[in-house]
Chains A and B, each alone.
Chain A
Amino acid sequence: MKLSTRLSTVPLLAAIATTGCIPDVPPRPEELRGASYSDPLEKPDFTLTTTDGDPFDFRAETDGFVTLLFFGYTYCPDVCPIHMANIAAVLRKLPPDVSREVKVVMVTTDPDRDTPERFGHWLANFDPTFVGLIGSLDEVNEIQSRLRLPPASRYGEDDNTYTVGHSARVIAFTADNRAHVGYPFGTRQNDWAHDLPLLVKSNWGAP
């Protein structure tokens, strides 16, 4: 082996010695089943209130984790419960070294009806670790616009039975605090089970 080749392996060996594993390279877009962003999204910096009433600094609290961010509401008849149920079901089956590196955060687009009690109970039915965040609709729509999502809008006059139009996309932020991929409605449990380990073990943003 040439001296230069031997020397080039030193940093890699040092990395293995300090971290115990070889960092994976980021997956190529075609390796992921989600829809890749050609221009990755920056993780937004905002603070909303959890269902327990505590402030939640999104960027700080999720730093270093794969974070699935979703905007929806508890009265949603289809998209929201299906997304949450599928993500929860997959996280229960993935190895702990993957699942504990994933945080799920849902921001309500229906703050009038999604009381902290109702929202917290609804999320806990899927997974008690899921974080529910509540803010004013203006705040929530402003965050969505930063993420290139359409604003939530109310349909129907009746205060009890109206529906809320909202994006059906789950945005996946990786440990580099950027979103390289999003998951539209129709993403199946098999797709989550395929992609989440890749997102957790990927090394986006590493030098």
Chain B
Amino acid sequence: MNWWCAAQDTAWSWTWQPYPGVWLMVAVLIGARLLAVKYWAPQTGEAEGGRAAVYVLGVVVLWIAADWPIGPLGAGYLLSVHTVQYVLFAFVAPPLLISGIPRWLLRRMIRPRWAFKIAWVLSRPLVAFLCFNVVLLATHMPSVVDGLTASQLGSFAVDMSWLIAGLVFWWPILGPLPELKPMPYPGRIVYLIANVFIPTVPAAFLTYARYPIYALYELAPPMSGLSAVEDQQIAGMIMKIVGGFIVFGIASVLFFRWAGSEETPEAGRE
């Protein structure tokens, strides 16, 4: 039994496979929040509202991205599914997880001096921008994909690097703590849109390459009617279009919040 999805030499089968490492990740994320609420929640603090549901939704997205069938399909058979995983890990789950954590819990998490320093540094837009895009480019290099995705530990490392990079990327935009001096809305919008362009580089390579870039997917047992190059082109389009759609969608939301805050100055302090 495998604990995390990795590339395999066997033909694809639609027979369900358990991945205990994925379940453990889900249990830790849910359990940690439940314990935090039980032991750390202020007696007269802010209401949870819908945050718990948003957080659970973020965990569910991670579960879907990592578990069968998307996990093993993406790890060893289809680059397009691997890119769907990337989008879910880096663009969908992190905003939900950050939005789903109440402010008192975020403050509790950064209470230790070292944690505050890390949060402060990672909240700087340039640092977050560099972290995210270095991870993006590194994890799409052929040597990394072909080398790491073949092992469970390597595949786990890639998935977690996407999640962590996604949390770092979204934190300057959605991290609401005033003590970390978040960017004003115009700055957040510019930051988001600047990040649309970097993924264009790997996306363009995937979309326009004459031959398959990754040996792993080119030499994987075929499981669909797609050729390796068609699969690669779909991956490039997912990376560019779906990732861009999410970024522009959230930039639009920020724009309207900004406009709203101009009309109601109280809201602008969020």
Contacts and interface: CB of A to CB of B under 8 A. Distances in A.
Interface stretch (A34-42, A76-84, A133-141, A144-152): A76-84
B210 A82 contact: no
Which residue, of B9, B218, B222, has the highest number of chain A Cβ atoms within 10 A?
Answer: B218
Interface in A161-196: 185-186, 188-190, 193
B40 interface: no
B11 A85 contact: no
B221 interface: yes
A127 to B, nearest CB: 12
Contacts of B220: 82
Interface of B: 9-11, 210-212, 215, 218-222, 227-229
A90 B10 CA distance: 25
A28 interface: no
Contacts of A77: 10-11, 221
Contacts of A78: 9, 11, 221-222
B218 A189 contact: yes
A93 interface: yes
A189 B211 CA distance: 6
A86 interface: yes
Given A78-B9, A85-B227, A93 B210 contact: yes
B220 to A, nearest CB: 8
Nearest to B212: A189
Nearest to A89: B227
Nearest to A78: B221
Contact of B221 (A82, A89, A186, A193): A82
Nearest to B223: A77
B232 to A, nearest CB: 11
Given A82-B219, A89-B228, A186-B219, A193 B9 contact: no
A190 B211 CA distance: 6
B222 A89 contact: no
A85 B222 contact: yes
Contacts of A188: 211-212, 215, 218-219
Contacts of A189: 211-212, 218, 228
Nearest to A83: B219
B161 to A, nearest CB: 26
Contacts of B11: 77-78
Interface string A81-108: 1100110011001000000000000000
A147 to B, nearest CB: 23
B176 to A, nearest CB: 48
A89 to B, nearest CB: 6
13 contacts: A77-B11, A78-B222, A82-B218, A82-B220, A82-B221, A85-B227, A85-B228, A89-B228, A90-B211, A93-B210, A188-B212, A188-B218, A189-B212
Nearest to B214: A188
A98 to B, nearest CB: 15
A77 B222 CA distance: 7
A190 B220 CA distance: 16
Contacts of B212: 188-189
A81 B215 contact: no
Contacts of A85: 222, 227-228
A22 to B, nearest CB: 28
A185 B11 CA distance: 15
A171 to B, nearest CB: 19
Contacts of B229: 89
Contacts of A190: 211
Nearest to B11: A77
Contacts of B228: 85-86, 89, 189
